[in-house]
Structure 1
Amino acid sequence: MAITVKDVAKKAGVATSTVSRVVNNHPSISEATKKKVQKVMDELGYVPNIAARNLGKRTSNAIGIILPPLNSKERMANPFFLEIIEAITDESRNNNMTTAVAVAKSLNDLLEDVKVMHTQKQVSGFILAYAHQGDPVIAYLTENHIPFTLIGQPYTQHETISYIDNDNQLLGQHATEYLIEKGHRNILFVTNSIKEGIYFERYFGYQKAMMINQLKPYDSVSIIEHTDYADFEDTLITSKASAIVVLDEIFALRVMQLVQMYGYQVPDDISVISFNNSILSTLTHPYLTTIDIDASQLGHEAVRMLIRQLNGENTSITKIVVPHELIERETVIEYKKT
């Protein structure tokens, strides 16, 4: 038989309303009474009905994690999102909160999930693990004054949205400059997304590094559909590329496969560098040279920022930049002109 509030109240010698106030940490209850009731709850093994408690309070002790549209197997398998979820869940647990994840294949479906989570009071606020141009989810959260934190740089409302991110433009610049230092001059930037903030920022960083070093930046190479594969091979030939900066790690593995399919060897013929430093970077040979973006810190800081909002603090001017680190492995070598 389940233990009820009445059972706790009877054994503790208090009213059921007193037990409810203890469960909800009401300030009108003395510390002595709290300790007495809590002791009885522990002895009886009483577990509060969190759902009912939240419904009555019209609040929640949960954080909603919103992932970007997972519309491909590559996106669904991206370990970055698993690392972000783990970090957010860990930090939420440290603050006596739980998490709920919103996942969908399109922004419109994602918006509907978020609306349900909000209107049913399933969560107190949200953390978006992405930044999309013209995102209807951000518009909904902003219009309804729902607390949220963004992992990534917003396209608009920079002064009102609190966000945490790496300096992705600096990441793109750092990766490109590393290749230039290794003697590479014909360097491509390859992407599988042209809508997300990290694409724009990292590509801008690539362009900046090339121009600072008086080298001609190439147009970004988009490989989104299978029909793009042939164009990519043509670009490798015409550009005489000796190195490639790839938008993210899981896509970098696909690019390396394509390069080898075209008859090139990595890194002997073409060097490759990417971003994230997940477990994928050392699953296959050659090990991937990459830039560590510290996904764990991104997740932890996002939760702390959101909790400050939930506590009534003004975080609209809060912008946190997480540092990065270049991890040298096996996919980049000195360029030797033949």
Structure 2
Amino acid sequence: MNVTIKDIAKEANVSYSTVSKALNNSPLVKEVTKQKILRVAKEMGYEPNLAAKQLVRKKTEVVGLIWPTIERIVLATLVTNISKAFESTRYSMILSVDSTDTAMETFKKFQVDGMIVFAESEQMIPEENIPLVAYGVSGKREVTYPIIDANHEQAMEKAVQYLYDLGHRNIAYVGLMNTDDALQNEKVDGYQKAMKKIGLTEQSIATNGLDWFDGYLAVDDVLQLEKRPTAIIGSSYDISGGILRSLQEKGVGVPEDISLISYDNIPQMETTEIPMTCIGVPVDELAEEIVQAVIQRIESEEQPVVRKLNPSLTERQSTGPVLEG
């Protein structure tokens, strides 16, 4: 037999409306009374009727997230952190690995209150009457929904300056170029602008993709550059992992011969074969910003904004000063 709010009210010796308010965390109920009601509800095995709550509130308190790929560790880590960030809110998250169009249709059927999209291209995504927040690049386009921008350009500027301060003058960049992925393009632009600003010659090596093996293969091209780099900036965790393994197999010391710094600020950087120096917005901070932005979008009528975050550098054993001789 299902336990109802009336059953709880009778057991707790309070009114039906008081139980309803307490279960909805209303400030109109005294804390002592609220805790008593919650204890009784738990002891009686009360399960809220979510469908009924949705009809009353016209809200599902569910947010849909469209995940672009299940293959990249960084995105998996970010999605995990987004899910954790929702745990401290009243919202739940459902995940779709389908295409954007298919996922949006599914979310409409579930009547989600909002959506999170990984906008890897600069193409605008229609909101379809569902509040939307995107993780991507703001660019120069007119904003129609909030965009959480991890500021890849500033991250590359900080990486180049950090290596320059260590004495490096031949700094190579390894990553995906000339792609529809706006995030990758901004990293390349950031590296090129930083090198030009500081008066250094850029040395860019294009990969065929964003996987570990793409970074591994790129090292052959890096070592054949006319001026052998003393430092490499890898454009992602996966690519940098491949670079590191290839350098080690070729007997190139890291950081004694070549320093290596990677984009993506995730905990896994600490457990690579040589703990890796990294640049980027910490993944837990990024997840929190995304979650707060979508909740604000759902609950507020404020105009869409671009939130440019501040990337930070975490120094580990993969980088060091240029050795003389």
Structure 2 equivalent of residue 65 of structure 1: 65
2:176 matched to 1:182? no
2:96 matched to 1:102? yes
Instruction: Decide whether aligned partners of structure 1 residues 66 and 173 sit closer, same or farther in structure 2, where only a CA change above 3 A counts.
Output: same
Contact 1:288 1:331 in 2 (8 A): yes
2:120 matched to 1:89? no
Q: CA deviation at 1:272?
A: 0.7
Task: Return the alpha-carbon distance in structure 1 between the equivalents of residues 58 and 21 of structure 2.
Answer: 17
Structure 1 equivalent of residue 102 of structure 2: 112
Task: Return the alpha-carbon distance in structure 1 between the equivalents of residues 140 and 54 of structure 2.
Answer: 33
Q: CA deviation at 1:278?
A: 2.1
**Cα displacement string for residues 270-321 of structure 1 (whole angstroms, at most 9, x for unaligned residues):** 21101233222221342211125122222222222222221232231x2223
More displaced stretch, 188-197 vs 285-294: 188-197
TM-score of the superposed pair, with normalisation by structure 2: 0.80
- For residue 125 of structure 2, the aligned residue among 139, 158, 168 is 139
- For residue 234 of structure 1, the aligned residue among 221, 238, 254 is 221
Contact 2:215 2:240 in 1 (8 A): no
Instruction: Decide whether aligned partners of structure 1 residues 227 and 294 sit closer, same or farther in structure 2, where only a CA change above 3 A counts.
Output: closer
Structure 1 equivalent of residue 198 of structure 2: 213
Q: CA deviation at 1:162?
A: 0.8
Structure 2 equivalent of residue 126 of structure 1: 115
**Cα displacement string for residues 25-77 of structure 1 (whole angstroms, at most 9, x for unaligned residues):** 6x9xx969x97x9677556432112145436755311122222223x3xx1x3
Q: Where in structure 1 are there 5+ consecutive unaligned residues?
A: none
**Cα displacement string for residues 73-118 of structure 1 (whole angstroms, at most 9, x for unaligned residues):** xx1x33x5324433x33443333111112224xxx3x431232122
Instruction: Decide whether aligned partners of structure 1 residues 8 and 280 sit closer, same or farther in structure 2, where only a CA change above 3 A counts.
Output: closer
Aligned to 2:134, the other structure's residue is in SS state strand
Task: Return the alpha-carbon distance in structure 2 between the equivalents of residues 62 and 286 of structure 1.
Answer: 41
Contact 1:60 1:124 in 2 (8 A): yes
Task: Return the alpha-carbon distance in structure 1 between the equivalents of residues 63 and 97 of structure 2.
Answer: 14
Structure 2 equivalent of residue 311 of structure 1: 299
The one-letter amino acid paired with 2:245 is Q
2:316 matched to 1:326? no
Contact 2:215 2:243 in 1 (8 A): no
Structure 1 equivalent of residue 182 of structure 2: 197
- For residue 265 of structure 2, the aligned residue among 268, 277, 283 is 277
* Equivalent residue runs for 1:31-70 within 5 Å: 41=41, 44-51=44-51, 53-54=53-54, 58-70=58-70
Aligned to 1:54, the other structure's residue is in SS state helix
Q: CA deviation at 1:147?
A: 0.5
Aligned length: 316
2:301 matched to 1:301? no
Aligned to 1:238, the other structure's residue is in SS state coil
Task: Return the alpha-carbon distance in structure 1 between the equivalents of residues 218 and 69 of structure 2.
Answer: 26
Instruction: Decide whether aligned partners of structure 1 residues 158 and 168 sit closer, same or farther in structure 2, where only a CA change above 3 A counts.
Output: farther
Task: Return the alpha-carbon distance in structure 2 between the equivalents of residues 301 and 96 of structure 1.
Answer: 16
Task: Return the alpha-carbon distance in structure 2 between the equivalents of residues 156 and 120 of structure 1.
Answer: 33
Instruction: Decide whether aligned partners of structure 1 residues 321 and 273 sit closer, same or farther in structure 2, where only a CA change above 3 A counts.
Output: same
Instruction: Decide whether aligned partners of structure 1 residues 210 and 200 sit closer, same or farther in structure 2, where only a CA change above 3 A counts.
Output: same
Aligned-residue CA RMSD in angstroms?
A: 3.5
Aligned to 1:268, the other structure's residue is in SS state coil
Aligned to 1:112, the other structure's residue is in SS state helix
**Cα displacement string for residues 130-174 of structure 1 (whole angstroms, at most 9, x for unaligned residues):** 322165xx524x2x1320112222457442221223221010111
Task: Return the alpha-carbon distance in structure 1 between the equivalents of residues 46 and 271 of structure 2.
Answer: 46
